[in-house]
A and B are shown apart, each in its own frame.
Chain A
């Protein structure tokens, strides 16, 4: 047999080994009954910091010995990003592998160096770890004093904290046109991102529509997009839209986001919809309800109206939507700029709702083309979702000038122009936008594009009362992207007047805003009247909020309804004080698309309950 040979000339080469000659041996004799301390990285009994633990249950899911059970703790509450449960460990099963520590989303779960616990009572081996650790019997340390052993470090962490980067259009390119900025994930990218989800479901609670997020993310991971599509359509018929422009509150609660970047829930949703061909929807979703023989009229084809229409028709109701505009979609069609939400991304969602038999009558403004009473007579129930379609003005002197515009009509004009439905909007060389919210970002960035297309340069000044980017209600992403595109921000200024000379807008004067809200968090701005600036411009656009228009509702109905700060009060099923009248979307809750979808869902259930009884 050929023995292993060391190269002769190198027999003494591993000089490193010599240094161990002088070292004391590793295995040492236990002196009389003295218990030995464990090594620094010992995997002993667990501790769990309850102030950090969010009850996500990831530790329990990974445990290979099924030693961890999640137990609800009375006194803890279910909240944004938190579940009211904590892990309980059965030391009759635990193999001390530490996988639970390595994956723990928050880092709350750790191991101590306590390894001795002797008891002949089985009940002593089950325990809910707290900050103090196990009250070990005959252990090494006093209760609560065991030093830390195995804890998470960057090498042992098995949670993937970094999001798969989304391919995006560069600022120099995107400001030249209205091309969609976010490109969407490829299959590999989507699966890699999906693999980051630990399936805890904490996000589902935060989503206003309680979408089945971990379920559809798992479908992506498995590569089963048909199953993914079915999960999406269980709760949301506008997933292609939401996959692009949802306010994605869910992500702010994602347990992976506690220490890293949250899972890109919104973009994963988009990945499913972008990659299932429309022709397949009918077969995959297979919606074949029994006809109920009753009909529902819906006013307004924004997210709330479309969502209600979808859910009602899956229940077998005949649905007709009345829409004032030439195309369905509401703000999705006429407000949100095309670089965030192209028409095509809306068409697919709406086409499927129409394929279920929903009739959408466009160019039909209720109160004008058709009376509200007629609709009420024609249908067994009515759902109104007419949105906040009116602009609001600061009403400072000069705002009645024709070159002082409001964001909403301007955004509508731009979208109509881009799809060939209308004339080119006026493009000023110098523009002032007043407002610090997302609508202000949308109009600033849209106008920056038109200016680049027209003059090759951007000159947009956006002023807000809020004194910093953090204080502004706009999303930080929107602010950053606007900055990249050349928009200039002036936070902390309130308008005094629009300066008009020879009947032309010359600019506007502003005064320093000292604070926006008072001690009671009420909107109550205070100014330093002596600190003023003038900004030159030939157009001013106001983007300070929208308001509802209820003029289509007959007076006697309006009197029966309850209004709270411009919004209609309803019960949890979106039923108004008039039993056959339901309402949703911005006129009830707001402020975003997914709340509209949730309202449509709740109203459909409410209408079904009402009509089943009738």
Chain B
């Protein structure tokens, strides 16, 4: 990692983080939920001012959801991935829209696809899905095929697809 990154990691030590070096310019910092905002603020004050992405991972076997904030520094081109895990059965977290206004949209998206509530962010209108009545679709226990079967019943086709294919392949004359 770069010098400035390793200095920052030292500053962050007080938050008891689990640190993984992904590559020279990418470091993952995992902390408990109560430390996240303080870590994000510290990083923001030290050059990691750009929230490139906020996303979520479903760890279904652990009954947890992982929230990931990707921060980027225009100064040294480094990336910090700040991660934490929250309870999957009642997933709630605080909004960071005061730190980054753009987080409003990321939080809406994560709400829509993973079902996380963000306290302090009330605008949770769906961004993408229409008339959605199933569990959030990026949860691992969402079965896209099952959903597809339920919503779009199979239809019986009458066409002889084999014959058509054989005509296309020139095996028989059409």
Contact in complex: A73, B159 (CB < 8 Å): no
Known interface pairs A7-B75, A132-B169; A127-B49 also in contact (CB < 8 Å): no
Interface bin, chain A: 35 or more
Contact in complex: A92, B152 (CB < 8 Å): yes
Interface residue B11 (Cβ < 8 Å from any Cβ of A): no
Which residues in A have their C-beta under 8 angstroms from that of B10? none
Which residues in B have their C-beta under 8 angstroms from that of A122? 155, 157
Report the bound CA distance from A59 to B119 in whole Å.
42
**Interface majority SS on B: helix, strand, loop or mixed?**
loop
Which residues in A have their C-beta under 8 angstroms from that of B51? 4
**Which of B75, B145, B158, B165 lies in contact with A65, CB distance below 8 A?**
B145
Contact in complex: B157, A93 (CB < 8 Å): no
Interface residue B99 (Cβ < 8 Å from any Cβ of A): yes
B158: nearest residue on chain A (CB-CB)?
A: A123
Which residues in B have their C-beta under 8 angstroms from that of A135? 168
Contact in complex: A126, B169 (CB < 8 Å): no
Q: In angstroms, how far is the closest chain A Cβ from the Cβ of B169?
A: 5
**Interface majority SS on A: helix, strand, loop or mixed?**
loop
Which residues in A have their C-beta under 8 angstroms from that of B165? 73, 86, 127-130
Report the bound CA distance from A86 to B161 in whole Å.
11
Q: In angstroms, how far is the closest chain B Cβ from the Cβ of A20?
A: 17
Contact in complex: A71, B47 (CB < 8 Å): no
Which residues in B have their C-beta under 8 angstroms from that of A1? 98, 101
Which residues in A have their C-beta under 8 angstroms from that of B144? 64-65
Contact in complex: A126, B74 (CB < 8 Å): no
Report the bound CA distance from A2 to B50 in whole Å.
13
Contact in complex: A2, B99 (CB < 8 Å): yes
Which residues of A122-147 have CB atoms within 8 Å of chain B's CB atoms?
122-123, 126-132, 135, 143-144
Report the bound CA distance from A285 to B149 in whole Å.
37
Known interface pairs A65-B144, A71-B161; A93-B98 also in contact (CB < 8 Å): no
Contact in complex: B101, A4 (CB < 8 Å): yes
Contact in complex: B74, A64 (CB < 8 Å): no
Which residues in B have their C-beta under 8 angstroms from that of A144? 168
Measuring CB to CB, which residues of chain B are less than 8 angstroms from any residue of chain A? 47, 49-51, 74-75, 98-102, 144-145, 148-149, 152, 154-155, 157-159, 161-162, 164-165, 168-169, 171
Q: List 5 tightest A-B contacts by C-beta distance, closest first.
A: A64-B144, A128-B165, A128-B161, A126-B157, A65-B148
**8 more A-B residue pairs beyond the given contacts A65-B145, A127-B165, with a C-beta to C-beta distance below 8 A:** A7-B47, A14-B74, A64-B144, A75-B171, A126-B159, A127-B161, A128-B165, A129-B165
Pairs A–B under 8 Å by Cβ, sample size 28:
A2-B98, A4-B50, A4-B102, A5-B49, A13-B75, A65-B145, A65-B148, A66-B148, A66-B149, A73-B162, A73-B165, A88-B161, A92-B152, A93-B152, A122-B157, A123-B157, A123-B158, A123-B159, A126-B161, A127-B164, A127-B165, A128-B161, A128-B164, A128-B165, A130-B165, A130-B168, A131-B168, A143-B168
